[in-house]
Amino acid sequence: MAPMLAALALLALISVSEQGPHEKRLLNSLLNSYNTLERPVANESEPLEVKFGLTLQQIIDVDEKNQILTTNVWLNLDEKNQLLITNIWLSLEWNDYNLRWNDSDYGGVKDLRITPNKLWKPDVLMYNSADEGFDGTYQTNVVVRNNGSCLYVPPGIFKSTCKIDITWFPFDDQHCDMKFGSWTYDGNQLDLVLKDEAGGDLSDFITNGEWYLIGMPGKKNTITYACCPEPYVDVTFTIMIRRRTLYYFFNLIVPCVLISSMALLGFTLPPDSGEKLTLGVTILLSQTVFSLLVGHVITKTSEAIPLIGTYFNCIMFMVASSVVLTVVVLNYHHRTADIHEMPQWIKTVFLQWLPWILRMSRPGKKITRKTIMMSNRMRELELKERSSKSLLANVLDIDDDFRHVPPPPNSTASTGNLGPGCSIFRTDFRRSFVRPSTMEDVGGGLGSHHRELHLILRELQFITARMKKADEEAELISDWKFAAMVVDRFCLFVFTLFTIIATVAVLLSAPHIIVQ
């Protein structure tokens, strides 16, 4: 067994030793008279056809703020920030007229690997490069075959400019162009041809965590620039990517909806708790922080307003409006009769129609359409009958009864056990009530007990007026508090409806909602 292995090793060494001189002789034969500046064509009037292909390996980064795309690409030259950073292999393939040989004359050598600085190669560059060195490829060897075909596959990380459209952020699709072409050779000297009409090769693509690759079509363009009369050929690949929205949905949209829901709960908080306004201001500050977070993520541009920015502004407007209306509610709730009088339109809107629309009830008062209409028709009568008769009115009725009773002929018989003072009391009481402020009438011909009766009557007038005023003030304070409750309930319904409509409208207007 060992002698057999030794024999095989010897044969391998003999074959290598025989191959080596042939390859050296071939290289010397090809490169001794080779000129790297000569365009390798048999007829100088014809363009050299270069097959161009591209293999996308990875989308490294999409720098939206600087509009730069970074990719890892293999340029396939078959002699081939807003920033997009990609890992790409270019493929360039062409046929060199000066690099042909008969493999039988050189020991069966059919291909060679030659460094690119010793051969002519097309100066294909990316026109919209954002790299500091402009060319991000690594100079690999050129594979040369005996029929003159040359294959140059330089890998590289490319930074290309990309116009980022933030209109539908974060539910957006981006189309980033990568434009390749010869820098000095026009279309009459070098003709770029797509190696694959379908576009770039995506078989080795590594999935990106933030972007979903839709496709990468390619297109050949022939353009005549203002600088030169000759047409120039370029191949443009469009990287079509879609943002994965799962991260933004659960880290931006869901918290925003929850914060806006907290703002709605602020309208259910009683004004006497003292935390109603504090809650609204805290929610407004939280919403502002989220808006600043979105501002740091998206591109600083005035060309379009992002969808999520519109949504955040709507929610912030709602929260800010809730703070303003909370101030109105607190103002209504703490109003007193000493400094505020309720206008009639507030009574009509906030004490009648809005409570009826919102199906709100008030203890002791029935709010229906019928009662509202009756209240409007009999407003004056309702104001007169709002409180019960005062004590003074009862006293007046008693005096009227005494006035209509005719005096009996015999004062002693008519008064019974009361005595003759009752008639004097009735007459004096009537006189003192009719003109209670005229002390002369009281003192004229009347006794001291009649003067005391007049003082008691004035005290009764004062107490009755104070009780009536206290009842009116309590009723007015109750009306203001109920008006504040109505405003709270109305804002709760309106802002809830606004939040739901805004959220549904944003989600339905997006091209897609969740892309994992």
3-state SS, residue 363: coil
Residue 396: pLDDT above 70?
A: no
Q: What is the mean pLDDT of the chain?
A: 79
How large is the average pLDDT for residues 323-342? 88
- Give pLDDT tens digits for 51-103: 999 999 888 888 776 676 666 655 444 332 567 788 888 899 999 989 999 99
Out of 213, 243, 273, a domain closes at: 243
Q: How far apart are CA 435 and CA 315, in angstroms?
A: 68
Residue 5 belongs to some domain of the structure: no
227 and 121 fall within a common domain? yes
227 and 297 fall within a common domain? no
219 and 276 fall within a common domain? no
| Contact partners, residue 184, CB within 8 Å, separation at least 6 | 123
Residue 328 belongs to some domain of the structure: yes
Q: Are 142 and 113 in contact (CB under 8 A)?
A: yes
231 and 117 fall within a common domain? yes
239 and 250 fall within a common domain? no
Instruction: Pick the more confident residue, 285 or 69.
Output: 285
Confidence of residue 382 (pLDDT cuts 50, 70, 90): low
pLDDT of residue 416: 40
Residue 454: pLDDT above 60?
A: yes
DSSP result, 418-479: G-THHHHHHHHHHHHHHSTT-HHHHHTT--HHHHHHHHHHHHHHHHHHHHHHHHHHHHHHHH
172 and 307 fall within a common domain? no
Q: How far apart are CA 314 and CA 316, in angstroms?
A: 5
Residue 7: pLDDT above 70?
A: no
75 and 191 fall within a common domain? yes
Residue 189: pLDDT above 90?
A: yes
pLDDT of residue 252: 85
Residue 90: how many other CB atoms lie within 10 Å? 24
Out of 194, 211, 243, a domain closes at: 243
Confidence of residue 437 (pLDDT cuts 50, 70, 90): very low
Residue 175 belongs to some domain of the structure: yes
- Give pLDDT tens digits for 10-67: 334 333 334 468 899 999 999 998 999 999 998 888 999 999 999 998 888 887 766 7
Residue 355 belongs to some domain of the structure: yes
pLDDT of residue 500: 92
pLDDT of residue 5: 39
pLDDT of residue 411: 42
230 and 374 fall within a common domain? no
Residue 438: pLDDT above 70?
A: no
Q: How far apart are CA 121 and CA 139, in angstroms?
A: 11
pLDDT of residue 298: 77
Q: How far apart are CA 251 and CA 297, in angstroms?
A: 13
Vertex 149 angle, CA 143 and 151, to 5°: 40
Confidence of residue 453 (pLDDT cuts 50, 70, 90): confident
Residue 22 belongs to some domain of the structure: no
Beta-ladder partners of 84:
62, 160
Residue 21 belongs to some domain of the structure: no
How large is the average pLDDT for residues 234-247? 92
347 and 397 fall within a common domain? yes
Confidence of residue 452 (pLDDT cuts 50, 70, 90): confident
114 and 134 fall within a common domain? yes
pLDDT of residue 71: 66
pLDDT of residue 402: 42
Domain around 439 = 246-408+416-455+469-516
Count the domains in the chain.
2
How large is the average pLDDT for residues 169-185? 91
Q: How far apart are CA 392 and CA 383, in angstroms?
A: 18
- Give pLDDT tens digits for 415-428: 444 444 444 444 44
How large is the average pLDDT for residues 308-327? 90
Q: Are 111 and 144 in contact (CB under 8 A)?
A: yes
pLDDT of residue 383: 55
Residue 87 belongs to some domain of the structure: yes
Task: Characterize the bridge pairing of strands 67-78 and 190-194.
Answer: unpaired
Out of 243, 269, 302, a domain closes at: 243
pLDDT of residue 169: 87
- What is the C-alpha end-to-end distance of the chain, expressed in Å? 59
155 and 166 fall within a common domain? yes
Q: How far apart are CA 172 and CA 309, in angstroms?
A: 13
pLDDT of residue 358: 86
Q: How far apart are CA 36 and CA 318, in angstroms?
A: 70
Q: How far apart are CA 475 and CA 351, in angstroms?
A: 12
Residue 149: pLDDT above 90?
A: yes
Residue 512: pLDDT above 70?
A: yes
pLDDT of residue 13: 37
CATH of the domain at 219: 2.70.170.10
Residue 34 belongs to some domain of the structure: no
Q: Is residue 170 reached through a cis peptide bond, with omega within 30 degrees of 0 on the bond before it? A: yes
174 and 150 fall within a common domain? yes
Residue 348: pLDDT above 60?
A: yes
- State which amino acid sits at residue 361: S
- Give pLDDT tens digits for 203-214: 888 888 888 999
- Give pLDDT tens digits for 480-505: 999 999 999 999 999 999 999 999 99
pLDDT of residue 471: 83
How large is the average pLDDT for residues 258-266? 86
pLDDT of residue 388: 43
